[in-house]
Chains A and B, each alone.
Chain A
Amino acid sequence: MPEIKVESHPIDSVFRTERLPHIFCPGCGIGPATHAYAQAILESGIPKDQHACVSGIGCTARVPGYMDVDSYHTTHGRSIPFAMAIALVKPEMEVTVFSGDGDLFGIGGNHFIHAARRNIDINVICINNFNYGMTGGQLGPTTPLGAKASTAPYGNTEPPFNLPYLAAATGAVFVARWTSLHVRQLKEAILRAMEKKGFTFIEVLAPCPVGFGSPNDIGDAIEEVWLYRERCIVDHNAYLPDLELDLRRKDIPFVMGNFVDIERPPFDPLAMMKNQGE
């Protein structure tokens, strides 16, 4: 066999390759989702210099640091108002928040609902691995009822958020859910989000074999991805209140899709001044 030498990959141009390898655990689902985001940047037609990637704190929040765009690793939960200001000051920029479920919906939940209500022109990509991974598998606002976590050794007593339902109810103009297995659908959804003006939200289910899988009898990442493969159904017209998730339950499917794609005027602090002139 002749030796095949690969010096670079086409997608390297979107990454700070000198920072690789990354910090993520074997089997982590953040990688494929990051790849989909990178691919979407390449295909978006928007120059790299006009992309900004903003995050809070957590495993997923390390992603912007690997992207070769303007990147901002902010405080825990505060990526959305930070990103809002960039989008308002530089409206020509494509601003994407790439962060985790605990960051965006635990400590940052209030910012999320208000950004969606205002219809701020940013994209939010949320890696949902059902736990706080970086700190060692604590329960979060998306941990399924009954699931075990390092701070819920008897099982979680709190019902989790249904994220697409929440995003749609609070005003997002584009809402999708995919998994880290659905890399092509995910990339297409991110491209659609980049195309749209206003607040877009994409939930990405991703294995966290160390934090969530292990205490919940999901042996490894492959097993979780097999769960996605066997149990996911695509229904773009799904009834959003029914989108609750529990990887451990065998009686309900995991519903994927691009659920919301509507138009609503994006946030413009000067809108009323402009209206007065007409």
Chain B
Amino acid sequence: MSPEERVLTGSHFLLGDYACAEGAMAAGCDLFAGYPITPSTETAERLSARLPAVGAIFVQMEDEMASVAALVGGSLAGARTMSATSGPGFSLMMENIGMAAMMEAPCVIVNIQRGAPSTGLPTLVGQADMMQAKWGSHGDYEIIAYSPSSPQECFDYVIKAFNMSDRWRVPVFVMADELIGHMTERVVIPPADQIPRVERKRPRHKPGDPSFLPFLAEDEDLVPPIVHAGEGYRVNYDSLTHDEKGYPATFPEPHDKLVRRLVNKIRLHADQIIEYEEIFLDDADLAVIAYGSTARSARRAVNEARRDGIRVGLLRLICVWPFPENKVRELSNQVKAFVVPELNLGQISREVERFTSLPVIGVNHAGGVMMAPDPILDTIREVAKNA
């Protein structure tokens, strides 16, 4: 490894947490602010060596509230900012995740999920922060969340997280889990000029133009152009409900208008954001929906069931939020039931239930151990028999 290089082009045998760090490096992360927490700490450790070597900023903060406050401040000063954490830290981050949504400050947060609630299982796997990722901060807002199933996807989707965060001006989460974070696999890093880069939308107006309304979204995507500190625009960024000028406007009408826009910029464009992988779904009459480490076991279970002659397919969620509700609706016209394995007591299965009237059968464990293929396969067999 030559530490002065941003992009370590080549084929590597990398820990998932390190792959998250290398994704940040390749994406041009300018500032990482975080607090150590198992099992995400290796991401911070790697970046504490890598970022300063290229002249970028690594700060170990006093807590996770400060970490995300720094992400938002740094982002609005023009930097690409990231943090990494796990459940207890993610809980503390919720306050300023809401601020990032309200101020429309792009930022990336990696959550290497562990057993929960509370301090739970610090060193062992869990997938129980999935609903928190969507609903954890108070109020209505939208975010984007990816769930990588391999160290390679940790690398790829941290880069994507930066790009989508800048594109839509929302916080973007990479919801890995301890198994993926602590798994070492081959990660192929492309040449620097092949790393995709989406630039932020910048204002057409010059500083000082009185007609400029920094929070007016003129385009169809509902995303206003972003203004950075020190550029002469002298904009007010407010965690309070604000008008198009950026000034506090704590009244029902501007509030409804602002919150609807924050939500609609994602909901109305979900098709441009959602990503999933379809495996054997073409002729399936039974669908498994899985994500993260559990999707690996689900794939094995689906392969084995196919050998038994069961027509089962796998919808592997890569982007979990926004949720691919249209895909679930579409599959509902084709399959007879859904099987949703996850390392929690039923979070994404509940979301699936919202978009289908078919049976949704969960395969659940509260966490601490990987979801093995066997219980998924047993459930597939049983559901296939009864269907």
Contact surface of A with B, Cβ cutoff 8 Å: 16, 19, 48-50, 52, 54, 57, 62, 64-65, 68-75, 77-86, 88-90, 92-93, 110-111, 114, 269-270, 272-273
Known contacts being A86-B74, A90-B77, is A74 close to B69, with CB within 8 Å?
A: yes
Contact B62 A85 (CB under 8 A): no
Question: Which positions 219-256 of chain B face chain A at CB distance < 8 Å?
Answer: 229-240, 247-248
Please give the residue numbers on chain B whose beta carbons come within 8 Å of chain A beta carbons, in ascending order.
Answer: 30-31, 33, 52-53, 55, 57-59, 61-63, 65-67, 69-79, 81, 95-96, 98-99, 207, 229-240, 247-248
* Inter-chain contact B248/A92, CB cutoff 8 Å: no
Main secondary structure of the interface of B (DSSP, over half): mixed
Inter-chain contact B74/A85, CB cutoff 8 Å: yes
Contact of A82 among B53, B69, B78 (CB under 8 A): B69
Docked complex Cα distance between A71 and B230 (Å):
10
Instruction: Provide the residues of chain A in CB contact with B234, threshold 8 Å.
Output: 48-49, 68-71
Beyond A49-B234, A71-B237: 14 further Cβ-contacts under 8 Å?
A50-B230, A73-B237, A74-B96, A78-B69, A81-B73, A82-B72, A84-B70, A86-B74, A89-B57, A89-B74, A90-B77, A114-B66, A269-B52, A270-B52
A31 to B224, CA, bound (A): 33
Contacts of B240 in A (CB 8 A): 73
Of listed A73, A79, A89, A270, residue having the most chain B CB within 10 A: A89
CB pair B236 A65 closer than 8 Å: yes
Which of B59, B62, B76 contacts A111, CB < 8 Å?
A: B62
Q: Check if B31 sits within 8 Å of A70, measured CB to CB.
A: no
Contact A85 B69 (CB under 8 A): yes
With A65-B236, A68-B234, A75-B99 as known contacts, state yes or no: A83 contacts B52, CB within 8 Å.
no
- Is B77 touching A85 in the complex (CB atoms < 8 A)? yes
Whether B248 contacts A73 by the Cβ 8 Å rule is yes
Smallest Cβ distance from A126 to chain B, in angstroms? 18
A77 partner residues in chain B, CB cutoff 8 A: 65
Residues of chain B within 8 A (CB-CB) of A93 are: 77, 229-230
Residues of chain A within 8 A (CB-CB) of B67 are 81
Chain B residue with Cβ nearest A273: B52
What residues on B are CB-neighbors of A110 within 8 Å? 62-63, 66
Q: Known contacts being A49-B234, A78-B66, A81-B66, is A65 close to B73, with CB within 8 Å? A: no
Which has the most chain B C-beta neighbours within 10 Å: A54, A88, A270? A88
A149 CB → nearest B CB, Å? 25
Distance (whole angstroms) from the CB of B91 to the closest CB of chain A: 15
Q: Are B30 and A89 in contact (CB under 8 A)?
A: yes
Most buried by A among B61, B78, B95, B234: B234
Q: Which chain B residues border A269 with CB–CB below 8 Å?
A: 52, 57-59
Residues on the B chain within 8 Å of A50, using CB: 230
Q: Are A75 and B96 in contact (CB under 8 A)?
A: yes
Chain A residues, Cβ within 8 Å of B71: 85
Chain A's closest residue to B79 (CB) is: A89
B61: chain A residues at CB < 8 Å are 81, 114
- Most B Cβ at <10 Å: residue of A52, A62, A85: A85
Contacting pair B62 A52 (CB below 8 A)? no
| Interface contact B73-A72, CB-CB below 8 Å | yes
| Nearest CB on B from A98, distance (A) | 13
